[in-house]
Amino acid sequence: MPIIKNYIQQDDGTITAVIEGVTLENKDFLLLDNGLEVECDVIVNDPYKITGKQRRKVFAMVRDIFNHYGQPMDYLRYMFQKQLEFLKGYEPISLSDCSRRQASELIELILDFIFTHNVPMNKATSDLMSNDKYFLYKSTINRTCVICGYPNSDLAHYQAVGRGRNRNKLNHYGNKVLALCRKHHNQQHDMGMSSFNKLHHLENAWVDVDEKLNKMLKGEHVGGNI
């Protein structure tokens, strides 16, 4: 297995690395011997294994899909794992010992399916996902309450936008938002931001406004699959 032995970070942020154990073919030697470069892809193995929480997230979401469609959980999990292996070119992966990166990619893949097909998420699953950045972002751009999963929810601001200001003419960059149903949005205003965040474990959960969210907040049409 090739191993990175040393590196130098260049001024432009790229890395020049010393890699041992690389297998080259005759045509590669021919190019190098003539002063030409050989292009290659370097994928660094994640040394950290899947966590128990990541595993629970996968099983919780698969259970929600089972409850919605009735397909066996083992079959659903197998299909998602096979899809990830195909998309990323992985060898067969297992939830017992895959890497954290692979587990994160699998979680995002299942979340995409859930939001694309409007699969209801159990409250316990939402609680488990409450600090997952991808879940929070997908919930917000799909206007699904991050707490209870209610659809067509409000986009609540972290920093209040003054009353009487035309939000359709404001740029919301630099602010943070979350999708909250009207009940939880009102609760946020009634309790105050600090108490509300502490109650629902949302202290570091608010999503930075990007171009897509800025358009949504201004009432503009956002095309494409979200």
Residues 23 and 66 in one domain: no
- Assess if residue 39 is contained within a domain: no
Token pair of 206, please? 């608010």
Token pair of 141, please? 């751009």
pLDDT (tens digit, 9 = 90+) per residue, 23-58? 999 999 999 999 999 998 887 777 789 999 999 999
pLDDT, residue 112, reads: 96
pLDDT, residue 168, reads: 63
Residues 78 and 149 in one domain: no
Residues 198 and 226 in one domain: yes
Domain span at residue 172? 145-226
Residues 149 and 120 in one domain: no
Residues 113 and 63 in one domain: yes
pLDDT (tens digit, 9 = 90+) per residue, 185-222? 999 999 999 999 999 999 999 999 999 999 999 888 77
Q: Is there a contact between 145 and 181 (Cβ–Cβ < 8 Å)?
A: yes
- Assess if residue 138 is contained within a domain: no
Q: Name the domain count of the chain.
A: 3
Q: Is 167 left (phi over 0), alpha (psi -120 to 50) or beta?
A: alpha
